[in-house]
């Protein structure tokens, strides 16, 4: 009896059923469809990822399976090598086509995709990829990109409505799974947002139906932003929700509210997100080296002690430490505090941005390579086209956490001090330390650097290097390749 020809939806960062073009295309193939997720060894061992990411993915697949139960199917979830997985599948079926979105990921996934493309050609398998959330491959410049992205966002969403008998059954997949090392979808309780489309829509609806009213007021505040920001970033990063779903839902809500500022600002950040991912798609070397080659000559002396203190939240600067401890524990931090952590590492501690990438990516539940690397370089001041920002953690603490509530929560050793010392404990005199039964260096670290000196050094060096002929030449190249003509309002948000 000949093997059945099937189509496979290879799920990656598109862990949803609705508005999923790969699924739609597979269902049009004329063959029954298998949903597949591979926990790949190359990613499970990659230092950019951590257990919190795999748990979020497991939650997401479990949520998909709950919905797929209605259609008497489920996702085949396996561990192993991608090509090895497909070789094993071909022992049972003839794979007619593979359908997936085009991933803007790490270099390891790009190399994996090239290897898989060769595999498909050699085995006469059609691999059909679709653009992800309007991000395009193969662009030389950004001419008309904004208009095309906007058009993509306005297109009708794709409804998941599989014809009867178009999917492999759950019993067939259960039998198939016996040939693989299957991945358990069980996760332990943890203080992170849970993955899945169902959870994503809960956050979306609570934001659009009420929480957004304080969005612009609280977006920079480390404590209040946890409620007033959308908290949708992990659901977009892992594809539980499509950007188009959120864009259209938000636009509809915006048309019916009187104060449109907050939702307008939020929707503009969806464009901002795509803008940065498109940058990374067009210049993937940003993962390892500064996009502006003129900065390759910038050398910094590595301090493992500084880096350890930064990672653990023990630098002696309360807002920096509170932000890192919060991120390490919960996986979430608002944008300004993320930028401050990167700025502190690269400017105040004068460490190479490359040494910050893995710790931050491991902690960010919403780790998105296309945003992660361009943003780190921008905050490090190594693009040559963006304003140099050297965040002052003391000023930011007083401006955005004036009562010290966020600091007291995450650096509880400072909670019983007067507010001036919560922000700057190193100002305490020996007598004041004795009065509070608090000793700097014992109960809380002394500052690991002299901030005025290090800020000045960073400013002097980085402003000086912007005058370098190679930096200027590269800046012109970057502007020509990555900026959007006549879209100054987007550039101001970079």
At residue 2, the pLDDT reads 87
Is it the case that residue 487 has pLDDT exceeding 70? no
Q: Let me know whether 82 and 55 are in one domain.
A: yes
Max distance between CA atoms of the chain, in angstroms, equals 89
Reported as a single tens digit per residue, the pLDDT across 202-220 is 999 999 999 999 999 999 9
CATH of the domain at 261: 1.25.40.80
At residue 490, the pLDDT reads 44
Q: Let me know whether 348 and 440 are in one domain.
A: yes
Is it the case that residue 492 has pLDDT exceeding 70? no
Nearest to 76 by CA among 66, 65, 90: 65
Q: Which of 265, 282, 299 is the C-terminal boundary of a domain?
A: 282
203 part of a folded domain: yes
Instruction: Mark 275-303 as b/e (b = at least 16 C-beta within 10 Å).
Output: bbbbbbbbebebbeebbbbbbeebebeeb
336 part of a folded domain: yes
Question: Do 190 and 56 meet the contact criterion of CB atoms below 8 Å apart?
Answer: no
Overall number of domains in the chain: 3
142 part of a folded domain: no
Q: Let me know whether 47 and 110 are in one domain.
A: yes
Span 90-116, mean pLDDT?
96
Nearest to 93 by CA among 32, 6, 172, 181: 6
Question: Do 479 and 283 meet the contact criterion of CB atoms below 8 Å apart?
Answer: no
149 part of a folded domain: no
pTM as predicted: 0.95
Q: Let me know whether 259 and 293 are in one domain.
A: no
Span 117-128, mean pLDDT?
98
Reported as a single tens digit per residue, the pLDDT across 45-70 is 999 999 999 999 999 999 999 999 99
257 part of a folded domain: yes
Q: Which two tokens stand for residue 296?
A: 């390759």
Q: How many angstroms separate the CA atoms of 464 and 79, rounded? A: 50
Angle between helices 335-343 and 393-400 (to 10 degrees): 160
Q: Identify how many contiguous H helices and E strands the chain contains and give both numbers.
A: 25, 6
CATH of the domain at 483: 1.10.579.10
Question: Do 31 and 5 meet the contact criterion of CB atoms below 8 Å apart?
Answer: yes
Q: Let me know whether 293 and 219 are in one domain.
A: no
At residue 486, the pLDDT reads 62
Span 220-228, mean pLDDT?
97
465 part of a folded domain: yes
Q: Let me know whether 241 and 333 are in one domain.
A: no
Q: Let me know whether 405 and 445 are in one domain.
A: yes
Q: Let me know whether 247 and 301 are in one domain.
A: no
Q: Let me know whether 304 and 272 are in one domain.
A: no
59 part of a folded domain: yes
Long-range contacts of 430-435 (CB under 8 A, 24+ apart): none
Q: State the number of CA atoms in the 13 A half-sphere of 253 facing the CB.
A: 22
Q: Which of 130, 155, 174 is the C-terminal boundary of a domain?
A: 130
Q: Let me know whether 235 and 313 are in one domain.
A: no
pLDDT bin (cut points 50, 70, 90) of residue 387 is: confident
Q: Let me know whether 120 and 20 are in one domain.
A: yes
Q: Let me know whether 210 and 298 are in one domain.
A: no
What's the chain's Rg over C-alpha atoms? 24
Question: Do 307 and 210 meet the contact criterion of CB atoms below 8 Å apart?
Answer: no
Span 361-388, mean pLDDT?
95
Rounded to 5 degrees, what are φ and ψ at 251? Answer: -65, -40
164 part of a folded domain: no
Question: Do 19 and 235 meet the contact criterion of CB atoms below 8 Å apart?
Answer: no
Is it the case that residue 488 has pLDDT exceeding 90? no
Q: Which of 81, 110, 130 is the C-terminal boundary of a domain?
A: 130
Span 176-200, mean pLDDT?
93
Is it the case that residue 461 has pLDDT exceeding 70? yes
CATH of the domain at 116: 3.40.50.620
Q: How far lies 73's CA from each of 113, 171, 196, 287, 331, in Å?
A: 27, 8, 17, 38, 32
Is it the case that residue 491 has pLDDT exceeding 50? no
Nearest to 343 by CA among 362, 356, 330: 356
At residue 1, the pLDDT reads 77
Domain range holding 447?
286-491
Contacts of 306 (CB under 8 A, 6+ apart): 349, 351, 448, 449
> What does pLDDT average to over the chain?
95
At residue 149, the pLDDT reads 95
């Amino acid at each position: 009896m000949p093997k059945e020809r099937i189509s496979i939806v290879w799920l990656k960062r598109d862990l949803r059923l609705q508005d999923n073009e790969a699924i739609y295309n597979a269902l049009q193939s004329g063959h029954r469809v298998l949903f597949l997720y591979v926990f790949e060894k190359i990613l499970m061992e990659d230092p950019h990822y951590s257990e919190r990411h795999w748990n979020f993915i497991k939650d997401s697949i479990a949520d998909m399976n709950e919905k797929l139960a209605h259609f008497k199917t489920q996702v085949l979830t396996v561990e192993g090598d991608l090509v090895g997985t497909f070789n094993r599948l071909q022992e049972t079926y003839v794979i007619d086509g593979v359908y997936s979105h085009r991933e803007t990921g790490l270099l390891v996934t790009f190399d994996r995709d090239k290897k898989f493309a060769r595999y498909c050609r050699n085995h006469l398998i059609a691999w059909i990829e679709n653009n992800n959330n309007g991000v395009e491959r193969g662009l030389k410049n950004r001419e008309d990109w904004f208009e095309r992205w906007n058009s993509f966002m306005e297109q009708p969403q794709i409804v998941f409505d599989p014809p009867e008998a178009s999917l492999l059954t759950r019993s067939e997949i259960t039998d198939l799974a016996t040939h693989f090392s299957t991945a358990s979808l069980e996760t332990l309780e943890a203080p992170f947002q849970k993955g899945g489309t169902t959870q994503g829509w809960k956050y979306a609806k609570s934001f659009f139906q009420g929480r957004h009213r304080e969005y612009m007021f609280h977006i920079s505040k480390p404590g209040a932003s946890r409620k007033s920001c959308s908290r949708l970033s992990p659901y977009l990063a892992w594809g539980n929700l499509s950007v188009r779903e959120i864009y259209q839902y938000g636009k509809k809500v915006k048309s019916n509210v009187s104060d449109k500022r907050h939702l307008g600002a939020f929707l503009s950040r969806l464009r901002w997100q795509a803008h940065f991912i498109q940058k990374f798609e067009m210049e993937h070397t940003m993962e390892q080296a500064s996009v502006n080659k003129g900065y390759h000559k910038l050398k910094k002396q590595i301090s493992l002690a500084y880096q350890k203190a930064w990672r653990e939240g023990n630098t002696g600067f309360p807002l920096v430490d509170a932000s890192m401890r919060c991120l390490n524990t919960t996986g979430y931090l608002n944008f300004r505090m993320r930028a401050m952590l990167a700025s502190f590492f690269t400017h105040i501690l004068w460490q190479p941005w490359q040494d910050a990438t893995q710790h931050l990516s491991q902690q960010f539940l919403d780790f998105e390579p296309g945003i992660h690397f361009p943003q780190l370089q921008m905050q490090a001041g190594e693009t040559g086209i963006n304003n140099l920002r050297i965040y002052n953690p003391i000023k930011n603490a007083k401006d955005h956490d004036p009562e010290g509530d966020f600091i007291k929560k995450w650096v509880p050793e400072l909670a019983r001090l007067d507010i001036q010392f919560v922000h700057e404990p190193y100002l305490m005199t020996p007598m004041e330390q004795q009065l509070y039964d608090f000793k700097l260096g014992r109960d809380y670290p002394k500052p690991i650097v002299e901030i005025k000196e290090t800020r000045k050094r960073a400013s002097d060096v980085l402003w000086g290097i912007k005058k370098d002929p190679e930096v200027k030449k590269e800046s012109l190249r970057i502007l020509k390749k990555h900026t959007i003509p006549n879209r100054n309002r987007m550039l101001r948000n970079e």
